[in-house]
Amino acid sequence: MSLKLKSGFTFDYDNLFGEGKVTKADIEAFSDKLKEAHKAMNVMRETGYIKGHLSKDGQPEKVWFSQCPYIQEGTLNSPESMKRLQELRESVRNRIDVVVSLGIGGSYLGNKVLFDVQCGEFWNSKSVEERDGYPKFYFSGNNIDPRRTKDLIDNINSSAAITKSHYKRTYKVMLIVISKSGGTLDTMSNFMVIYDALKKNPDIEVEIVAVTDPNTEKPTLLKQMAMDHNWPQFSVPDGVGGRFTVFTDVGLSTAACIGFDIDEFLHGARDMDEACKNENVWENPAMLNAALKYIASEKYGRNIEVMMPYGDYYESLSMWYIQLLAESLGKQFNKEGKEVCYGRTPVVALGTRDMHSQTQQHQEGRLDKVVQFIRIENWDNDLVIPNVFPEAKKLADISGVTMGDALEVARQSNADALASNKRFNALFSLPKMNAYYLGQLLYMLAMSVAYEGEFADVDAFDQPGVEAYKRIMGPKLQELKASKQAK
């Protein structure tokens, strides 16, 4: 069984629904919850209100991510904000040599997805012409790793030296610092180390762009610095939590610097939002996905979700989803304050790679998983496997088909094998990978966790659990600093 949208985006849930799986009766018994959740999503779209949602400071807070696909005057993505992104695009193209995007969690993961889809693995070794004038692009701040940060600085310094000796000009670096809260340790420590190192190099010119909460009454640290130093600024808008910000200036700042099609990305999200307004669960991909996964977890104990796209450049998509699912639904208390310890545990997997590592567990381990596949139906520049060694029968047998076809045969075989052994699995199928279909997929997943928050009666838009270690870490760092100074 499958739900196919006009665009061709398909949710195939054959191996998750039916006899021995989530049943029609389960969905029918769930109809009141479906109606309530559908209503709650409409209220959220229209007013930003989500029952029980509070900000980090315990204040009622609106939720606006569903506004992002629509470019309208006075909304989060307005003609004005699109124009500013276009200006960023024009200002980096054929001028900036390298962009470093600094951020972590929601200020990194979606950006990495856009980068991988648009640029692939070898972007930074391509010539400027092959990059169509767009700069090299690196990420930093998504760890506090001295070796990787030093390697990045060395790499930029040596490119600067080559530019100086060959072209007799300075090397232009743009640091885009992304942090909603404006002071995250991982992001800011890398920013300071990298900025300090690069500005000491006379062959390098550094520009800084800040992407943070735009509130001027209580500015974030990054906002204050941007105002003090006159750095160009972009917004992480109020009411959009980090893990939903790929559709805002956060993700779109990366898009602008690599030539990713922002209009098509938002267009895809918009078409998906329309589909997710449908009150008929069988025609609403987000509601259907959330309902099947919720029931699979609550009634059948399948409370682990393995997100398994097929194709090397889509692992980051799985990692983006991990944060979305973990921070949105992993909650100790429900909206009434009752302890529920809810949440499906997300797992990153990649096909075919992890068929040679995790699949043993998926196939025979505990019956506690749903394996969610993602498939690209048509690959640009698909390669035919040639018959190079006709005398080797095993190799001759796999020749003549394309790698894209072989990949899909591997995925289907995995799905069939899992299904034959009571292992729940499902498939999101994209006609091709481009900005439009990526927008459809990411938006559907974001909307799906919003629906599941309603089903499970947990606040899908806060993340109080991440404060626990932060409360310990701050004083610990101060103690360490004091003890070092005393020596």
Assess contact for 445 and 109: CB atoms under 8 A. no
| The one among 105, 110, 251, 311 contacting ligand F6P by CB under 6 A | 105
Q: Is 346 in the site for ligand F6P (CB under 6 A)?
A: no
Question: Closest CB to ligand F6P among 220 and 434?
Answer: 220
Q: How far is the CB of 109 from ligand F6P (least distance, A)?
A: 8
Q: Is 448 in the site for ligand F6P (CB under 6 A)?
A: no
Active site residues: 327, 356, 470
Q: Is 463 in the site for ligand F6P (CB under 6 A)?
A: yes
Return the half-sphere exposure (C-beta side, CA atoms, 13 A cut-off) of residue 244.
27
Which tokens in the block code for residue 271?
């078409």
Q: CA–CA distance from 39 to each of 48, 69, 254, 442 (Å)?
A: 13, 20, 34, 22
> Cα–Cα distance between 304 and 433 in angstroms, integer?
26
* Residues whose CB falls within 8 Å of the CB of residue 393, separated by 6 or more in sequence, listed in order: none
Q: Is 81 in the site for ligand F6P (CB under 6 A)?
A: no
Q: How far is the CB of 432 from ligand F6P (least distance, A)?
A: 29
Q: Is 107 in the site for ligand F6P (CB under 6 A)?
A: yes
Question: Closest CB to ligand F6P among 187 and 297?
Answer: 187
Q: Is 135 in the site for ligand F6P (CB under 6 A)?
A: no
Q: How far is the CB of 473 from ligand F6P (least distance, A)?
A: 11
Q: How far is the CB of 71 from ligand F6P (least distance, A)?
A: 23
- What values do phi and psi take at 345, rounded to 5? -80, 125
Q: How far is the CB of 156 from ligand F6P (least distance, A)?
A: 23
Stretch that binds ligand F6P, among 92-100, 102-110, 111-119, 422-430 (CB under 6 A): 102-110
Binding mask 173-212 for ligand F6P (x = CB under 6 A): ------xxx--x--x-------------------------
| The one among 466, 472, 477, 480 contacting ligand F6P by CB under 6 A | 466
Assess contact for 348 and 373: CB atoms under 8 A. no
Q: Is 112 in the site for ligand F6P (CB under 6 A)?
A: no
Which contacts qualify for 59-64: CB closer than 8 Å, 24 or more apart?
Answer: 61/238, 61/239, 61/461, 62/238, 62/239, 63/239, 63/240, 63/241, 63/450, 63/461, 64/237, 64/238, 64/239, 64/240
Which tokens in the block code for residue 321?
């989803």
Q: At what angle do helices 31-47 and 435-456 cross, to 10 degrees?
A: 120
Q: How far is the CB of 346 from ligand F6P (least distance, A)?
A: 15
* Rounded to 5°, angle at Cα 80 from 76 and 83: 115
User: Which is it for the CA torsion 87, 90, 96, 101, positive or negative?
Assistant: positive
Q: Is 427 in the site for ligand F6P (CB under 6 A)?
A: no
| The one among 69, 110, 237, 242 contacting ligand F6P by CB under 6 A | 242
3-state secondary structure of 88: helix
Question: How many residues touch ligand F6P (CB under 6 A)?
Answer: 14
The β-bridge partners of 209 are: 176
Return the half-sphere exposure (C-beta side, CA atoms, 13 A cut-off) of residue 59.
5
Question: Closest CB to ligand F6P among 106 and 135?
Answer: 106
Helix (H) or strand (E) holding 18: none
Question: Closest CB to ligand F6P among 140 and 184?
Answer: 184
Q: What is the CA radius of gyration of the chain?
A: 24
Question: Closest CB to ligand F6P among 53 and 243?
Answer: 243
Question: Closest CB to ligand F6P among 30 and 138?
Answer: 138
Stretch that binds ligand F6P, among 99-107, 145-153, 266-274, 438-446 (CB under 6 A): 99-107
Q: How far is the CB of 188 from ligand F6P (least distance, A)?
A: 8
- Which residue spans within 85-203 are E strands per DSSP? 98-102, 136-140, 171-178
Near ligand F6P in 265-284, by CB under 6 A: none
Residues that bind ligand F6P (CB under 6 A): 104-107, 179-181, 184, 187, 242-243, 327, 463, 466
